[in-house]
Amino acid sequence: MEIMISFALGFFLNEGRILFKIFGKNLDYIKNKVIMQELGFSYFLLCIFLNFSKGFLPIVIFSQNNTDIHNAFLACSILFGVYLGSKPVKTEGSELVALIGIISGCILESIQIFAAILISLLLILKNFKISLTIAMVYYLIVIFQINIFLFIIVIIILVNYAIYNVALFSSHINTMKEKIIFLLIKGVRGCYESILYSITKFFKKSF
């Protein structure tokens, strides 16, 4: 029952699902960052709070069975719900926030330290995703000492997130390469036409 409730929280309380109902299929072509900018910073904070709560509340509420394996099963059910509930929209970091909520539920005293690290990184880097990923390293060290099963889950999620972002970055690089090649070809063609025109004009004047 606890597993099903945790999955339901991750699946139904999902900003991807809510946004898809608002924007429809157009959401496939709108980046999450653009939506955040359009709807405002308050919506951005609401999404963070929603995703954090999905991970935090089940762990705290069902703490009477607070064993390592039990917490790992709860974490898996929440994260499966987050991934499946966001389709066809990409999660774009919401799984990391839910994961932080899960770990915070297991280690309540670590929230203040993590928040301080995250806020400091945000002020320095001014990028939420990068700051969140780096701050997760702190939680990795803590969770490795507390719950090895949850540590493995965290590693899997981070690797999956990294692979997705590398693939996304690679596609941007390929697009940039195509644009550069197109501009180079256009430039070379323009130079060739200019030279040809100058030669033709020269011969016309000569003869």
Distance CA 196, CA 81 (A): 64
**What angle do the packed helices 94-106 and 41-61 form, to 10 degrees?**
40
pTM of the model: 0.65
The answer to whether 82 touches 47, Cβ cutoff 8 Å, is: no
Range of the domain at 91: 2-167
In a domain, 99, yes or no: yes
**pLDDT of 163:** 75
Provide Rg for the chain, Cα atoms.
Answer: 25
In a domain, 10, yes or no: yes
The answer to whether 102 touches 60, Cβ cutoff 8 Å, is: no
Tracing tokens 């970091």 back to the chain, one arrives at: 93
In a domain, 40, yes or no: yes
In a domain, 188, yes or no: no
**pLDDT of 191:** 59
**pLDDT of 11:** 76
**pLDDT of 115:** 80
In a domain, 141, yes or no: yes
**pLDDT of 198:** 62
The residue ranges of the chain whose pLDDT is under 70 are 23-38, 63-66, 89, 109, 164-207
Residue ranges in the chain assigned as alpha helix (H) = 2-12, 15-23, 32-39, 41-61, 68-86, 94-106, 111-125, 128-146, 148-206
In a domain, 149, yes or no: yes
In a domain, 81, yes or no: yes
In a domain, 71, yes or no: yes
**pLDDT of 121:** 83
Number of independent structural domains in the chain: 1
